Each structure stands twice: as C-alpha cells, then as structure tokens.
Amino acid sequence: MTVIVLTNCPAGLRGFLTRWLLEISAGVFIGNPSARIRDLLWEEVREYAEQGRALLAHTTNNEQGFTFQTHDHAWHPVDHEGLTLIRRPSPDSTAPRQVPKKGWSNAAKRRRFGRG
C-alpha cells in the first residue's frame, strides 16, 4: 500500500499521479504500485513539487510495518533504535513571546455582573 500526500503542488503533478494512484481526497493519493513504480513516482513528485510539500508512506517489512519519506517538510523522519519517528522543529527561542494580560477579560466581567 502506498500513500502520497501533496500540499500546495501544481495541478499537473496531481494529474500525473492519478495515472497510477487513486485520489481519495484533495492531494491524498493511495494505491498499490510495485516498488519500482513507487520510486519513480516519488522522483517525479520531488522534481515537480515546486513550492509544495510532499509525504510518501508505504508498507514495508520492518517493526512498524511501514516507512515514510518527506519532501520540503518542516518535520523530518529520524531513525531511533530501529523505529522511525518524526522530529518536529523546536520553537524559535529568539521570537518574542506573547504574554497574556492579567485579570478578567471585558466579556467575562460583563457576564459576571449581568450587563451583557
């Protein structure tokens, strides 16, 4: 079983994938091509994705029963003692943090005192 998920990719690429896979939702393709065809499809996706992101997941003979690859994704697969996990980017520590205001909101005050 093979699943390819496209985000913000050209319509031509989506049309190309429909030759081999079934599009079950916008940008989500599923099918059961051979390993050779799957690898060729993934090469085409990586070449023509342009500004978009792509994710490939397929069954394999390992502990999890599947494996996946990403293209221009912020989250990356990482092997950890034989299991493939997703590494998410840590929040930027240099970005200013939004500090919530202290006390009750105006809407809560109106509800509490019955003025609204």
Segment 72-100, tens digit of pLDDT: 888 888 888 888 888 888 776 566 666 66
pLDDT of residue 108: 79
pLDDT of residue 93: 54
Place of tokens 């065809």: 37
SS3 29: strand
Pairing of strands 66-71, 53-59: antiparallel
Q: Kindly report the number of other CB atoms within 10 A of residue 56's CB atom.
A: 20
* This model's pTM is above 0.85: no
**Rounded-to-integer distance, Cα 108 and Cα 59, Å:** 52
Q: Kindly report the number of other CB atoms within 10 A of residue 101's CB atom.
A: 6
